[in-house]
Chain A
Amino acid sequence: MITGQEKGVFSGAFETNANVFIRDSSINTPNTPQYDRQFFGGEAWLNVNYAIQGFTIGARFDMFNNSNLRNPTDSYSGIGIGRWFVQKTIDKLELSAGYLYDQIGSGLIFRAFETRPLFIDNALYGARVKYSLSENWNIMGFAGKQKNAFDTYTGNIKGLRSEGFISLGSEDTPLTLAPGIGFINRTISDENMAGVVDALRTYLDEDRFSPKHNTYLSTIYNTLTYRGFSLYTEVALKSKDIFYNPFAIKSEIVGSTIGKLEQKSGSVLYGSLSYAKGNLGVTAEAKRTKNFNFRIDPNQRLLRGLVNYLTPLNRQNTYRLTSRYSPAAQDISEMAYALDVRYKFSKAWSIGVNYSDITTLEGDRLFQELFTEVIYKHKRKWQLTSGIQFLTYNQEIYEIKSEVPLVKTITPYVDFLYRYSPTKALRTEIQYMQTKQDFGSWLFGLAEFSIAPKWSFEASGMYNIKPKKANSKGQIEKTFYPTLGVVFFNDAQRYSLRYVKQVEGIVCSGGICRLEPAFSGFRFAMNTTF
């Protein structure tokens, strides 16, 4: 970071990924151009921001070069300015224009954000005004279009948000409230509506409806804190909106098919109660979602054109096998509960238990997980983390696969960290996933040797020890998926180079998931801030 007394503050960040694709007959990657003919794919992002005298200006250069981020089985190329913005603060007023990131509440009705691993960048391209009404209350309004790669979608979004902070009680009994309220209006463009009408013309009378351009959403939320307790509640409503329901029955001239456009109102109720005191920490959450798919253009599918963000309730696992089956938040019909309890017995011993339960509103099982964790720290010399995960996962719904049973897994794991010296440490992981479904059982092992502060070396392998699924050669055989890598740190710079052979799986980021195909090749990544 470079600073100057009158020249303001200049800052930035750079990130790049480079993949070399190596065809491998044991993984299934049909018709993927990177394996067939391109062999290389990568991305780069360079952010530059400058702040001076109440002004902040910024721009981001984006490059996608035969990238597989947008569509994992295809190639996407594009170079240009991915983002620019100008922001000025004048006393209580803040003005912004350009590509803006923001959200209302937890994002149930609006969230403009970026998640690079999933090619999500739905910044609002427009203008925003914020005004501080008082020390504790502010109001914000915005309008614009949603970003779509280097273009924008044609529909329009407008929104309002007001948030505040109220302190009640006394010093002995401090009670605080952080309420907020927000509204969103989305207007479907004539061009997008033409697509809706074209679709409705193919519907029989019983499935047709009179489509509306405008949808209105509102949300009210509050965080109440009292001593060790914190309660977050949010209620969001949506007026009649056109959305694609992949589970609805559509009548055809002969018989019926599954999936059609519908125009219905929706709602989400979300609550999170947490308590932390001494060595105990407890969090309980519940969420009810009904017909809350909300896109800038109803003709979009998958992760494209999403305006809002539905908070995931399941545990965000990090170990390779315990994170293999992760549920995407369901926007049509979902009832989810989660409970997380952590207790520290002493400096050496602590435990954690997490339980999550997700069904449809009709009661059909979607996901269930019991995750336990025991941590033992032996002075500063070594640390042992171990536990077991019991999981049930509805592959039919999350991966849209026909006549596949619920995936049921039992996964014990051990993570052992040993410090040879203040700078040298070895971390090892062993995980075993026992399952009779999908690919069958897996064994995973990892060894990571770090020499602080510069180097880290890793070797890991995932072995399909009891395979159930035929590979691209049509054979059911035990397959080993190795990874070898080295990471180099230099101040704020991080460089990594890995050889990866990876089975297909679900990739999730912040509760948003998609099916990721298998990969075989080299991966280089580098990021830095300045």
Chain B
Amino acid sequence: MIRFLLVFPLFILMSCEEIPIVIADPVIPDSEKVVLIEELTGASCPNCPKGSAAIENILTKFPGRVSVVGIHGEFLSNPTSKSKYDFRNPKAKSLESWFQPWFGKPSASINRVKDENDMIMIDIPELWQAAVENELLKAHQMNLLLDTKFDEITRKLDLEIAAIPLTDLEGSYNISIFLTESDIIDAQSNGAVIIDAYNHKHVLRDMMTKFDGDNFGSALKKDAIIKKNYTYTLPINPNGLWNPKKMEVVVMISRAMPNDVSVVQTAFKKVEK
């Protein structure tokens, strides 16, 4: 009788079969638009390998269309008991604070676009791809060209940037330049265990601008080329970090309006070819 009472109403309701949902990918148009993912992560963050896996999937799916910066700030970013390196740095800590509010790690900003709740950070890695696709579906508004020259002796990096707006762009704009390093093998928390030899990618090592960007200009005119030059000297690290062959420079032009800090265009290039 009990089983009947429990199961019968369920049976009636469940007999209404839903029309299956079709799981299909959107068609992404070809363009020069590049999307920036800024991920809040950390060596002591047990869920962060999930974020890294989601990013690698996105990079595989959209080669050349996505650039990544891994921000090891403060929260769960301290080295594990088995770590050799400490990826935290002042710019990463400042950025992590700038991105508030966020609920936990991993969290990621996709082109710094706010959602309906005014949140920039998305704390579910499985939703990052859809956010990237949404950005790739938007109009391409600026070409961003980079040229790098690295001197192995002095370890000086010269960066030349040329931006060409493809339409008139109202408002003010900032430029942020990140230096990231990949293929750093070190410990990483993963659920209940620590992976001893985890491949850390896109680790933010420093920035060539202020953490919240330098002024890039305002009311940008279509086809009016804007050029900028930056230099940076890579420190010598006896532990093998700051390896120019594994480093990348990531440049981002973003809006600098009170309610809109979204990214217009991103470009990336290896420090040493």
Separation of A400 and B97 alpha carbons in the complex (Å): 23
Q: How far is the CB of A260 from chain B (nearest CB, A)?
A: 8
Instruction: Determine, out of B2-10, B166-174, B210-218, the stretch whose residues face the partner at the interface.
Output: B2-10
Give A62 Cβ to nearest chain B Cβ, in Å. Answer: 17
Which chain A positions have C-beta within 8 A of B16?
Answer: 214
The reply to whether A239 and B14 form a contact with Cβ atoms under 8 Å apart is: yes
B27: Cβ under 8 A from any A Cβ: no
Within the complex, what minimum Cβ distance (angstroms) separates A345 from chain B?
A: 42
Instruction: List the B side residues contacting A210 at CB < 8 Å.
Output: 20-21, 23
Q: Is the CB of A403 within 8 A of B193?
A: yes
Is B25 a contact of A201 with CB atoms below 8 Å?
A: yes
- Are A202 and B126 also in contact (CB < 8 A) when A71-B103, A74-B100, A212-B18 are? yes
Q: Is A174 an interface residue (CB 8 A)?
A: no
- For A181, list chain B residues within 8 Å (CB): 5-6
- The answer to whether A193 touches B124 (Cβ under 8 A) is no
| Docked CA distance A400–B44 (Å) | 11
In the complex, the chain B residue whose C-beta lies closest to that of A198 is B130
Chain A positions within 8 Å of B9 at CB level: 183, 218
Q: Could you tell me which residues of chain A, from 300 to 350, have a CB within 8 Å of some CB in chain B?
A: 301-302
B180 to chain A, nearest CB (A): 20
Question: Is the Cβ of B127 less than 8 Å from the Cβ of A195?
Answer: yes
Interface residues contributed by chain A, number (CB under 8 Å): 53
- Residue contact B6 to A220, C-beta cutoff 8 Å: yes
Q: Whose C-beta in chain B lies nearest to the C-beta of A250?
A: B50
Q: Are A216 and B10 in contact (CB under 8 A)?
A: yes
Whether a CB of chain B sits under 8 angstroms from the CB of A237 is: yes
Complex contact A218–B190 (CB within 8 A): no
Q: A31, A198, A201, A259: which contacts B75 (Cβ < 8 A)?
A: A31
Known contacts: A183-B9, A254-B56. The answer to whether A30 contacts B74 by CB under 8 A is yes
B15 to chain A, nearest CB (A): 11
Given contacts A210-B20, A261-B126, A301-B124, are A36 and B10 in contact (CB under 8 A)? Answer: no
Which residues between 245 and 275 of chain A lie within 8 Å of chain B, taking CB atoms?
250, 252-255, 257-261
Residues of B within 8 Å of A299, CB to CB, are: 124, 127
Interface Cβ pair total, 8 Å cutoff: 133
Residue B47 at the chain A interface, CB threshold 8 Å = yes
B82 to chain A, nearest CB (A): 9
Interface hits, B144-163 → A, CB 8 Å: none
Contact of A235 among B6, B101, B102 (CB under 8 A): B6
Partner of A208, one of B23, B74, B123: B23
Q: Name the B residues within 8 Å of A253 (CB-CB).
A: 56-57, 60
Which residues of chain A have C-beta atoms less than 8 A from B2's C-beta?
220, 235
- Closest B residue to A158 by beta carbon equals B13
- Would B6 and A213 count as touching, CB distance under 8 A? no
Interface residues of A in 205-231 (CB under 8 A from B): 208, 210-214, 216, 218-220
A397 CA to B46 CA, complexed, in Å: 11
B96 within 8 A of A: yes
- Looking at the assembled complex, report how far the CB atom of B132 sits from the nearest CB atom of chain A, in whole angstroms: 11
A356–B104 alpha-carbon span in the complex (Å): 31
Q: Is the CB of A74 within 8 A of B101?
A: yes
Q: What distance in Å separates the Cβ of A265 from its nearest Cβ neighbour in chain B?
A: 10
Q: How far is the CA of A36 from the CA of B97 in the complex (A)?
A: 10
- Whether B81 contacts A403 by the Cβ 8 Å rule is yes
| Selected contact of A200 from candidates B23, B102, B124, B192, CB within 8 Å | B23
- Please determine whether B80 and A218 come into contact, CB atoms closer than 8 angstroms: no
B57 and A202 within 8 A (CB): yes
Q: Which residue of A lies closest to B128 (CB)?
A: A202
B54 at the interface (CB under 8 A from A): yes
A143 to B177: give the CA distance in the assembly, Å: 52
When chains A and B are docked, how far (Å) is the Cα of A239 from the Cα of B18? 14
One digit per residue, 1 when the CB lies within 8 angstroms of any chain B CB and 0 when it does not, for chain A 284-307 equals 000000000000000101100000
- Which one, A76, A195, A239, A402, contacts B194 given CB within 8 A? A402
Q: Which residues of A contact B75 (CB under 8 A)?
A: 30-31, 73
Docked Cα-Cα span, A197 to B133, in Å, equals 14
CB within 8 Å for A259 and B100 given contacts A73-B75, A213-B18, A402-B189? no
A74 to B103: give the CA distance in the assembly, Å: 8
For residue B49, CB closer than 8 A to chain A, the reply is yes
Contact between chains at B130 and A201 (CB < 8 Å): yes
Measured in the bound complex, the distance between the Cα atoms of B10 and A216 in whole Å is 6
Note all chain B residues with C-beta closer than 8 A to A76: 101
B93 at interface, CB cutoff 8 A = yes
Task: Name the residue on B nearest A256 (C-beta).
Answer: B53
With both chains docked as a complex, state the minimum distance between the C-beta of B54 and any C-beta of chain A, in angstroms.
7
Closest residue of chain A to B192, judged by CB? A396
Please name all residues of chain B whose beta carbon is closer than 8 Å to the beta carbon of A193 when the two chains form the complex. Answer: 21
Interface membership of B191, Cβ < 8 A: yes
Residues of B within 8 A of A201 (CB): 23-25, 129-130
Interface centre among A181, A185, A218 (most CB of B within 10 A): A218
Q: B18 contacts A402, CB within 8 Å?
A: no
Instruction: Provide the residues of chain A in CB contact with B70, threshold 8 Å.
Output: none
Write the chain B residue with the least CB distance to A302: B103
The 10 A-B pairs with the shortest beta carbon distances in the complex, nearest first, are A30-B74, A198-B130, A199-B126, A402-B189, A257-B50, A31-B97, A258-B191, A396-B192, A74-B101, A252-B53
B residues at A contact (CB < 8 Å): 2, 5-7, 9-10, 13-14, 16, 18, 20-21, 23-25, 44, 46-47, 49-50, 53-54, 56-57, 60, 73-75, 80-81, 93, 96-97, 100-104, 123-124, 126-127, 129-130, 189-194
A-B contact pairs, 10 of them (CB 8 A): A36-B97, A198-B126, A201-B24, A202-B129, A216-B13, A216-B14, A258-B47, A301-B123, A402-B189, A403-B81
List 7 additional contacts besides A31-B93, A402-B80, A402-B194; criterion CB under 8 Å: A31-B100, A195-B127, A203-B126, A239-B14, A253-B60, A257-B50, A258-B191
